Amino acid sequence: MNILTEHFTTPYHSAPFNSIKNEDYLPAFKELIQKSEEEINAIINNPEEPTFANVIEALAYSGEQLDVVSNIFFNLNSAETSDELQQIAQEVSPILTEYSSKISQNEALFHKIKKVYDEKEKYNLNEEQQMLLNETYKGFVRSGALLNEEDKEKLKKISMDLSLKSLQFGQNVLASTNNYFKHITNKEDLAGIPDAILEQYAEEAKERNLEGWVVTLQYPSYIPFMTYAENRELRKEIALANGKKSFDGGEFDNQNLIKELLTLKQQKAELLGYSNYADYVLEERMAKSPSKVIDFLDELLVKAKPYADKEIEELKSLAKADGIDEMQSYDHAFYAEKLRKAKYDLNDEELKPYFPLEQVQEAVFGLAEKLFHVTFEERNDIPKYHEDVKVYEVKENGDYKSLLYVDYFPRKGKRAGAWMTSYKNQYKKDGENSRPHISIVCNFSKPTKDTPSLLTFQEVTTLFHEFGHALHGMLANTQYPTLSGTSVKWDFVELPSQFLENFCYEPEFLKTFAKHYKTGETLPDEKIEKIEHSKNFMEGYQTLRQIGFGLLDMNYHTKVAELENKTVKEFEDDYTKATQLYPVNPETAMSPSFSHIFQGGYSAGYYSYKWAEVLDADAFQYFKENGIFNPEIAAKYKILLSSGGTKDPMELYKNFRGSEPKVESLLKRAFG
């Protein structure tokens, strides 16, 4: 018996993590692909006249168990991977890509879809059904349904190559990150670093059977070192190691892989009738075209550059007082922290005792309850994939709404960063509203024997960010799984996450949970005021950084031919020049570890972070004008969240706000 192909008998049919064996995956994928193909064949061979119900709906509900197993496998490959799982991923990815291509390029199936699409007027479809039909038809066309047989084969091969190479990209970054560590035996080399971080470094050393302290390139280790370490040479050394991730010519170098990935994407775009991959991607986004994205980023660049220049001049004057004539990028976090402390008398270590992880989680749960009437109850009878994971049953007015998995601490088998994902989508079928299983994964400092996990303020906002995504998934209430939760236009998907971050800066809300983990004392008013005022600290610098990533991404996906005569490093330097605020280091490049666009789903879409910031600033302004816990506005916002991809996002937004978002809302928030 293979647990993955059986009906899950766990509570709410949750993933049976404690019963899954690695050897279950490959046979399960093969069996479930065959089962899904039988469902597709039943649609194709149905002798009845093609209708919306027997073609479009039937297709939307097909492959449910395969989707669940895919989610389990690929989520674990990010959060709890191993050499064995990575090997299985290399085998499974091409099989899934081939299956996907076989469906999307099936002429008989497309013929039926097209017939329903061409005759849609006779079906009297509601808005969600129309959206499903349009998205299904477009999805097939964009997957090559109108191509001839030879080109379909080419597209299939390109898709398989892309799938494997993007997987390899991520594995290289993870290996490159894990391969480096700095062993420090002289405590003087750690001058400036707070005791709690030193304790963390000592624990890391102990885990490696070493004396002293160990710094790694995992963010909870790397960021504090760059922020507090007074030893400039060590900052330089560790920053150099970070900047060389997958860019050192070694086994895990990604430079050639970048060129191969971009070439494949360009070939795919041309095959489908687009001039470049960005055109192909943006057709399905709110922004619509590369030129609109470039104009948007350029407009922000013009507005933000003077603020960024001014911020860097302030840092340079601090560095000069320390005898540094030419400040480098590896000095930025250190002097930014000094300036922040001087301006606002705030430092992360001082604030961290007021933000123990459990308290912050309680606060975000409480906020969801206040705005959306949902509650969270820990369940110990639901299987987990690691002892660090906790599972909560989410209820709305006492009724089961969702499962929420939270996984907060770094591990060797977990990739860096923070993300929200799902194990099971929400949908309605046969009178039942099948509820979603959502997961948040982060990399916060682990608790030690003496201290709970204490968050930096940035980590507090990170948790709110990912929880905003999670709400988008948990509150989903749509008919079809393919339109549910976060299945929205990509430049709309960051609205719920970035929107929720705004609450972290509201004194009224902060006072409810920012309490010292030892004394219970509330964070003093003057510090709360400083947090509020520090919200836009280094906003010019951060904006330019994001614009730089966005411009680089957009140029990679519109000008791939230039890479024939340029190295990845040269290309990167050319297209980030306008946003660079420090001298460029010839030994480092960020592209080879730019997982968002070469492994994740942000190819030709990185701009969407700033795009969504306009939406979130405008949306929160609406709350600010009417009360941040205003129940009527919260109810309207809940409709936006629960609607998923059933409507055009601009229409959804206007229904909530009453007007289109204004870029001025972002500029006002950022620069006053």
Give the mean pLDDT of 221-234: 97
Residue 623 — φ and ψ, nearest 5°? Answer: -65, -45
Sign of the Cα torsion 634, 635, 638, 640 reads negative
d(CA 420, CA 502): 18
Query: 646 in a domain, yes or no?
Result: no
Q: For 268-291, how does the pLDDT look when each residue is reduced to its tens digit (9 = 90+)?
A: 999 999 999 999 999 999 889 999
Site of tokens 């039942």: 432
Confidence of residue 104 (pLDDT cuts 50, 70, 90): confident
70 and 198 fall within a common domain: no
Is residue 476 within 8 A of residue 373, CB to CB? The reply is no
Q: What is the pLDDT of residue 533?
A: 84
Same domain? For 395 and 477 the reply is yes
Per the CB < 8 A criterion, the answer to whether 262 and 557 are in contact is: yes
> Do residue 118 and residue 194 come from a single domain?
no
How large is the average pLDDT for residues 305-325?
Answer: 96
The CA distance from 226 to 232, in Å, is 9
In a domain, 487, yes or no: yes
C-alpha atoms less than 13 angstroms from C-alpha of 466 in its C-beta half-sphere: 25
Of the candidate ranges 99-108, 202-211, 469-478, 561-570, the one whose mean pLDDT is the lowest: 99-108
Q: What percent of the chain has pLDDT over 70?
A: 100
Angle at 546 between CA 544 and CA 551, to 5 degrees: 90
User: Phi and psi of 192, rounded to 5°?
Assistant: 95, -20
Backbone φ/ψ region at 156: left (φ over 0), alpha (ψ -120 to 50), beta: alpha
> Cα–Cα distance between 127 and 198 in angstroms, integer?
57
Tokens read off for 32: 């479930």
Residues 369 and 451 in one domain: yes
The residue written with tokens 């004394």 in the block is: 519
Least confident of 156-160, 240-244, 360-364, 530-534: 530-534
> What CATH number should be reported for the domain holding residue 469?
1.10.1370.40
Look at residue 624 and tell me if it is in a domain.
Answer: no
Task: For residues 133 and 223, state if they share a domain.
Answer: no
Q: In the numeric block, which tokens belong to residue 608?
A: 């969407």
Is the same domain home to 196 and 51?
Answer: no
SS3 181: strand
SS3 208: coil
Whether residue 71 is contained in a domain is answered as yes
**CB atoms near residue 602 (< 10 Å):** 20
Alpha helices by DSSP H, listed for 143-194, are 149-179
Is the domain of 95 the same as that of 204? no
Q: Map tokens 């929205």 to a residue.
A: 488
For residue 407, list its beta bridge partners: 441
State pLDDT tens for residues 414-423.
988 899 999 9
What average pLDDT does the segment 159-177 reach? 94
pLDDT band for position 564 (50/70/90)? very high
Q: Which of these three, 243, 275, 298, is where a domain ends?
A: 243
Greater model confidence, 347 or 631: 631
Q: Is 525 exposed, middle or buried (CB count within 10 Å of its CB: 0-12, 13-18, 19+)?
A: exposed
Higher pLDDT, 340 or 382: 382
Task: Report d(CA 177, CA 209) in Å as an integer.
Answer: 20
Does residue 304 sit within a domain?
A: no
DSSP 279: H
Match 């870029």 to its residue by tokens.
663
State the average pLDDT for the chain.
95
Which tokens is 125 given? 């479809």
357 and 472 both lie in a single domain: yes
CA distances from 534 to 316, 343, 364, 507, 538 (A): 19, 9, 21, 13, 9
Could you say which of 521, 536, 551 is where a domain stops?
521
pLDDT at 325 over 90: yes
pLDDT for 61:
96
Assess if residue 634 is contained within a domain: no
Residues 56 and 189 in one domain: no
Check whether residue 64 and residue 205 sit in a common domain: no
Tokens (6 digits) for 564:
């024939």
- The whole-number average pLDDT for the span 216-221 is 93
Q: Inform me whether the pLDDT recorded for 490 exceeds 90.
A: no
Closest CA to 142 of 273, 246, 23, 42: 273
CATH code (residue 62): 1.20.1050.40
140 and 222, same domain (yes or no): no
404 phi, psi to nearest 5 deg: -125, 120
Distance CA 318, CA 533 (A): 21
Alpha-carbon gap, residue 383 to 390, rounded angstroms: 9
For residues 485 and 436, the answer to whether their CB atoms sit within 8 Å is yes
Q: Which residues pair with 604 in a beta bridge?
A: none
- Residue 525 pLDDT exceeds 90: yes
How many domains in the chain?
A: 3
Place of tokens 């001039």: 275
Catalytic residues: 466
Query: How many angstroms separate the CA atoms of 210 and 183, rounded?
Result: 8
Q: How much is the pLDDT for 38?
A: 96
Is residue 575 a part of any domain in this protein?
Answer: no
Running DSSP on this structure, what letter comes out for residue 57? Answer: I
**Tokens representing 611?**
């795009």
**What are the tens digits of pLDDT across the range 136-161?**
999 999 999 999 999 999 999 999 99
Q: How far apart are CA 254 and CA 553, in angstroms?
A: 16
Residues 6+ positions from 544 with CB-CB distance below 8 Å: 301, 304, 305, 308, 579, 581
Q: List, for residues 414-462, the tens digit of each pLDDT value.
A: 988 899 999 999 999 999 999 999 999 999 999 988 899 999 999 999 9
How far apart (Å, rounded) are the C-alpha atoms in residues 641 and 473? Answer: 8
Determine the Cα–Cα distance for residues 604 and 568; give it in Å rounded to an integer.
17
Indicate the DSSP class of residue 80: S
Last residue of a domain, one of 222, 243, 264: 243
Pick from 542, 531, 500: nearest CA to 671: 542
Indicate whether 90 and 214 sit together in one domain: no
Q: Are strands 374-378 and 390-396 parallel, antiparallel or unpaired?
A: antiparallel
**Would 499 be classed as within a structural domain?**
yes
Relative to beta strand 419-424, strand 437-441 is antiparallel
Looking at residue 605, its pLDDT comes to: 94
- Parent domain of 121: 3-104+106-146
Question: Does pLDDT of 672 surpass 80?
Answer: no
In this structure, are residues 247 and 254 in contact, taking their beta carbons and an 8 Å threshold?
yes
